[in-house]
Amino acid sequence: MGSFLFNFFALLTVICAVGTVVNKNAVNAAMCFLLALVGVSGLFVLLDAYLLAFVLLLVYAGAVVALFLFIVMLLDAQGGPRRPFKPVTIAASTISLALLAMGVLTIYERSHLTAAPATPAGPTLKEYAYQLFSTYLLPVQIVGFLLLIAMLGVIVLAKKHEGLEDIK
Protein backbone atom coordinates (compact mmCIF):
# COMPACT_ATOMS: atom_id res chain seq x y z
CA MET A 1 0.00 0.00 0.00
CA GLY A 2 2.90 2.34 0.77
CA SER A 3 4.34 1.92 -2.71
CA PHE A 4 0.98 2.73 -4.30
CA LEU A 5 0.59 5.88 -2.19
CA PHE A 6 4.14 6.99 -2.98
CA ASN A 7 3.59 6.49 -6.70
CA PHE A 8 0.24 8.29 -6.51
CA PHE A 9 1.59 11.35 -4.69
CA ALA A 10 4.73 11.47 -6.85
CA LEU A 11 2.70 11.29 -10.06
CA LEU A 12 0.24 13.89 -8.74
CA THR A 13 3.12 16.22 -7.90
CA VAL A 14 4.85 15.87 -11.25
CA ILE A 15 1.69 16.22 -13.34
CA CYS A 16 0.50 19.26 -11.39
CA ALA A 17 3.94 20.88 -11.50
CA VAL A 18 3.99 20.50 -15.29
CA GLY A 19 0.44 21.84 -15.40
CA THR A 20 1.61 24.88 -13.42
CA VAL A 21 4.33 25.65 -15.95
CA VAL A 22 2.43 25.06 -19.19
CA ASN A 23 -0.96 26.49 -18.22
CA LYS A 24 -1.87 29.77 -19.97
CA ASN A 25 -4.54 30.74 -17.46
CA ALA A 26 -2.91 32.11 -14.31
CA VAL A 27 -5.73 30.98 -12.00
CA ASN A 28 -5.57 27.42 -13.34
CA ALA A 29 -1.78 27.48 -12.97
CA ALA A 30 -2.15 28.55 -9.33
CA MET A 31 -4.63 25.71 -8.74
CA CYS A 32 -2.19 23.23 -10.28
CA PHE A 33 0.51 24.66 -8.00
CA LEU A 34 -1.79 24.10 -5.02
CA LEU A 35 -2.33 20.46 -6.01
CA ALA A 36 1.42 20.00 -6.50
CA LEU A 37 1.95 21.26 -2.95
CA VAL A 38 -0.69 18.82 -1.69
CA GLY A 39 1.21 16.01 -3.43
CA VAL A 40 4.49 17.03 -1.80
CA SER A 41 2.72 17.23 1.55
CA GLY A 42 1.42 13.69 1.00
CA LEU A 43 4.98 12.55 0.37
CA PHE A 44 6.05 14.17 3.65
CA VAL A 45 3.29 12.29 5.46
CA LEU A 46 4.56 9.03 3.97
CA LEU A 47 7.99 9.89 5.38
CA ASP A 48 6.42 10.41 8.83
CA ALA A 49 7.31 14.11 8.69
CA TYR A 50 3.91 15.34 9.83
CA LEU A 51 5.17 18.73 10.96
CA LEU A 52 6.71 19.49 7.57
CA ALA A 53 3.55 18.37 5.81
CA PHE A 54 1.41 20.60 8.01
CA VAL A 55 3.73 23.59 7.63
CA LEU A 56 3.85 23.11 3.86
CA LEU A 57 0.07 23.08 3.63
CA LEU A 58 -0.38 25.93 6.07
CA VAL A 59 2.30 28.30 4.79
CA TYR A 60 2.63 27.56 1.10
CA ALA A 61 -0.77 26.19 0.16
CA GLY A 62 -2.62 28.50 2.50
CA ALA A 63 -0.69 31.73 2.22
CA VAL A 64 1.44 31.74 -0.91
CA VAL A 65 -1.16 30.33 -3.30
CA ALA A 66 -3.81 32.61 -1.82
CA LEU A 67 -1.44 35.56 -2.31
CA PHE A 68 -0.78 34.58 -5.92
CA LEU A 69 -4.50 34.22 -6.61
CA PHE A 70 -5.18 37.55 -4.94
CA ILE A 71 -2.52 39.29 -7.05
CA VAL A 72 -3.71 37.66 -10.26
CA MET A 73 -7.36 38.51 -9.60
CA LEU A 74 -6.49 42.01 -8.41
CA LEU A 75 -4.53 42.76 -11.57
CA ASP A 76 -7.12 41.01 -13.78
CA ALA A 77 -4.60 38.91 -15.69
CA GLN A 78 -5.85 37.26 -18.86
CA GLY A 79 -4.15 34.42 -20.66
CA GLY A 80 -3.30 35.26 -24.21
CA PRO A 81 -1.04 34.27 -27.05
CA ARG A 82 2.47 33.47 -25.98
CA ARG A 83 5.26 35.76 -27.03
CA PRO A 84 8.37 34.33 -28.69
CA PHE A 85 11.31 33.47 -26.48
CA LYS A 86 13.87 36.20 -25.90
CA PRO A 87 17.61 35.52 -25.62
CA VAL A 88 17.43 36.23 -21.89
CA THR A 89 14.78 33.53 -21.48
CA ILE A 90 16.87 31.04 -23.44
CA ALA A 91 19.96 31.89 -21.35
CA ALA A 92 18.00 31.52 -18.10
CA SER A 93 16.62 28.17 -19.24
CA THR A 94 20.10 26.96 -20.15
CA ILE A 95 21.51 28.00 -16.78
CA SER A 96 18.59 26.33 -14.99
CA LEU A 97 19.16 23.07 -16.86
CA ALA A 98 22.88 23.22 -16.06
CA LEU A 99 22.13 23.73 -12.36
CA LEU A 100 19.65 20.84 -12.45
CA ALA A 101 22.26 18.60 -14.09
CA MET A 102 24.83 19.57 -11.46
CA GLY A 103 22.33 18.77 -8.70
CA VAL A 104 21.55 15.35 -10.16
CA LEU A 105 25.28 14.65 -10.55
CA THR A 106 25.91 15.67 -6.93
CA ILE A 107 23.14 13.40 -5.67
CA TYR A 108 24.50 10.54 -7.79
CA GLU A 109 28.03 11.02 -6.44
CA ARG A 110 26.86 11.25 -2.83
CA SER A 111 24.84 8.07 -3.16
CA HIS A 112 28.00 6.14 -4.09
CA LEU A 113 30.09 7.37 -1.18
CA THR A 114 30.84 4.91 1.58
CA ALA A 115 30.42 7.20 4.56
CA ALA A 116 28.87 6.52 7.91
CA PRO A 117 25.11 6.86 7.83
CA ALA A 118 23.86 10.23 8.98
CA THR A 119 21.79 10.39 12.10
CA PRO A 120 18.22 11.20 11.12
CA ALA A 121 16.53 14.26 12.52
CA GLY A 122 14.10 13.33 15.22
CA PRO A 123 10.46 14.24 15.31
CA THR A 124 10.88 17.09 17.79
CA LEU A 125 10.45 20.69 16.77
CA LYS A 126 13.80 21.65 18.29
CA GLU A 127 15.66 19.22 16.06
CA TYR A 128 13.73 20.39 12.98
CA ALA A 129 14.58 23.98 13.83
CA TYR A 130 18.26 23.14 14.33
CA GLN A 131 18.42 21.37 10.95
CA LEU A 132 16.50 24.18 9.25
CA PHE A 133 18.69 26.99 10.57
CA SER A 134 22.04 25.22 10.29
CA THR A 135 22.18 22.59 7.55
CA TYR A 136 19.36 23.76 5.28
CA LEU A 137 19.56 27.54 5.79
CA LEU A 138 20.85 28.33 2.29
CA PRO A 139 18.29 26.19 0.41
CA VAL A 140 15.44 27.70 2.44
CA GLN A 141 16.68 31.22 1.66
CA ILE A 142 17.05 30.36 -2.03
CA VAL A 143 13.48 29.02 -2.15
CA GLY A 144 12.22 32.17 -0.43
CA PHE A 145 14.09 34.32 -2.95
CA LEU A 146 12.66 32.30 -5.85
CA LEU A 147 9.15 32.77 -4.46
CA LEU A 148 9.78 36.51 -4.26
CA ILE A 149 10.96 36.54 -7.88
CA ALA A 150 7.90 34.51 -8.92
CA MET A 151 5.58 36.93 -7.16
CA LEU A 152 7.25 39.90 -8.84
CA GLY A 153 7.03 38.08 -12.17
CA VAL A 154 3.29 37.60 -11.69
CA ILE A 155 2.89 41.31 -11.03
CA VAL A 156 4.99 42.33 -14.06
CA LEU A 157 3.27 39.88 -16.41
CA ALA A 158 -0.18 40.85 -15.24
CA LYS A 159 0.42 44.60 -15.39
CA LYS A 160 -1.52 46.33 -18.13
CA HIS A 161 0.69 48.38 -20.39
CA GLU A 162 -1.24 51.50 -21.34
CA GLY A 163 -0.11 53.51 -24.30
CA LEU A 164 1.54 50.65 -26.17
CA GLU A 165 -1.22 50.61 -28.79
CA ASP A 166 -0.23 54.13 -29.91
CA ILE A 167 3.32 53.02 -30.72
CA LYS A 168 2.28 50.60 -33.47
- The answer to whether 111 and 27 are in contact (CB under 8 A) is no
Instruction: Give the residue, 12 or 75, on which the prediction is more confident.
Output: 12
Residue 50 is predicted with a pLDDT of 85
Residue spans per domain, the chain: 2-82+121-158, 86-114
Print burial letters for 98-132: b (CB count within 10 Å at least 16), e (below 16). Answer: eeeeeeeeeeeeeeeeeeeeeeeeeeeeeebeeee
Q: Which of 11-25, 98-112, 137-151 is modeled with the greatest confidence?
A: 11-25
Nearest-angstrom CA–CA distance, 61 and 65 = 5
pLDDT in tens, 10-35: 899 999 998 888 888 878 888 888 88
Q: What is the pTM of this model?
A: 0.52
| Mean of pLDDT over the chain | 76
CATH code at 2-82+121-158:
1.20.120.1200
Nearest-angstrom CA–CA distance, 23 and 73 = 16
Going by pLDDT thresholds of 50, 70 and 90, the confidence category of residue 121 is very low
